[in-house]
Structure formats: structure tokens, C-alpha cells
Amino acid sequence: MDRTRAMVESSLLVALSAVLFLAGHFLPIVGMAFSLVCPAPLVVLGLRHSLGRAVLGVAVATVITAAFTGAVGALFFCFGFGFLGIALGALGRRYDKAVDIVLYGILVSIGSKLLLMLIAVKLTGINPFGLEEAEIMPMIERIASIYSGLGMSEEALSLAKEQMRATLSLIPVIFPAL
């Protein structure tokens, strides 16, 4: 594969990964499905090209996501999906058995999620495993005030607040499944 073709393919895979993450970040319901496949282009990048190109691709995709979601969103992309994509691509090149790839991939996923949770605790000062109603409501009210300032109607705002409360209360329960 010549250099130009490899660069174009890498660029498209990086852009696709960033777009999938942004869709998962901004689209309410279908965004969850996009989040599941977000690392896939990075895995393909790691399989078809070098590990260095995959790392560079994650760095570029992290910068793209930072432009739209800020530094916190970029950290979530990098640690939540970027490392996983790089690792699965490298594992796919190294191991022939799918069982090995999946098992090591699970370990990498758990490690990156724990690192992400550690960073989130350091940034926010809130332990996501110890969330209680008293801690959740001030966060929801701050987010609701931002939405209200952007012109969201009261009906939509109350619905969004209830959805956020339900989602945040489920985080400690579903974290082991992530």
C-alpha cells in the first residue's frame, strides 16, 4: 500500500472513530449503539497499519473530540475507547486465537475503565460508586440551568432532569458490566 493511500485510509478511520464517539455523546438513544462501535475503526487501523500509526490516530481523534466536547470528553474518548482500539488492533496482530484476543481485550478494557474512573474522581471529586441522591441532585440542577439558559422548555427540562437522575443512579449498578 503506498503512503498516500495509507494516509487517506488512516485519516478516514480516525475521522470515523471521532464521529462515532461524538454521535454517542450527542445523540440521546441511538448514541449508545454508536458508542459500542466507536473503537472499531481504531482496531482496523491497528490491524491494517503499524502500532505507531494507531497511536497517532488516537491522538488525532482525541484532539478532534476535544474540539467538540472539551478536555473531559477527550479524556473519556482516549481512555475509554482509544486505548481499547489500539490494544485490540495490536492483540489482533499478535495472537491467532480469538479467545486470547478477547480475554486480553477484556483486561485492557477493565484497566482503561478503572484508569478513566480514577481520572474522573480526581477531576470531579465525586466517587461514582458512592453516588447518593443528595450528591446527584446538585449536579442535575447545574446541568438543568445550562439547558435552561440554552432555551430548553420547562416540560423538556423536567423530562431531561428525570432521565439524568435515573441514569446517574444506575451508574454504580451497571459499572461492573462496562
**Per-residue pLDDT at 116:** 86
The total number of structural domains that make up the chain = 2
Same domain membership, residue 161 and residue 141: yes
Same domain membership, residue 152 and residue 83: no
**Per-residue pLDDT at 169:** 72
**Of 171, 175, 169, 173, whose CA–CA distance to 137 is shortest?**
169
Last residue of a domain, one of 87, 103, 125: 125
Same domain membership, residue 119 and residue 72: yes
Own/partner long-range contacts of 108-112 (Cβ < 8 Å, ≥24 apart) = 108/83, 108/84, 109/84, 112/79, 112/80, 112/83, 112/84
**Per-residue pLDDT at 59:** 96
Last residue of a domain, one of 125, 140, 167: 125
**Per-residue pLDDT at 21:** 93
Same domain membership, residue 97 and residue 42: yes
Same domain membership, residue 177 and residue 148: yes
Distance CA 88, CA 82 (A): 10
Same domain membership, residue 154 and residue 76: no
Own/partner long-range contacts of 109-114 (Cβ < 8 Å, ≥24 apart) = 109/84, 112/79, 112/80, 112/83, 112/84, 113/79, 113/80, 113/175, 113/178
Same domain membership, residue 114 and residue 135: no
**Of 63, 36, 20, whose CA–CA distance to 178 is shortest?**
36
Same domain membership, residue 62 and residue 29: yes
Distance CA 127, CA 171 (A): 11
**Per-residue pLDDT at 122:** 80
**Per-residue pLDDT at 167:** 77
Provide the domain limits for residue 66. 3-125
Provide the residue count of the chain. 178
User: Is the backbone of residue 152 left (phi > 0), alpha (psi -120 to 50) or beta?
Assistant: beta
Same domain membership, residue 75 and residue 118: yes
Last residue of a domain, one of 103, 125, 147: 125
**Per-residue pLDDT at 142:** 82
Same domain membership, residue 79 and residue 131: no
Distance CA 117, CA 132 (A): 17
pTM to 2 decimal places: 0.72
**Per-residue pLDDT at 157:** 86
How many degrees, rounded to 5, is the angle at CA 17 between CA 14 and CA 19? 110
- Residue ranges of the chain with pLDDT lower than 50? 178
Same domain membership, residue 136 and residue 172: yes
Same domain membership, residue 62 and residue 113: yes
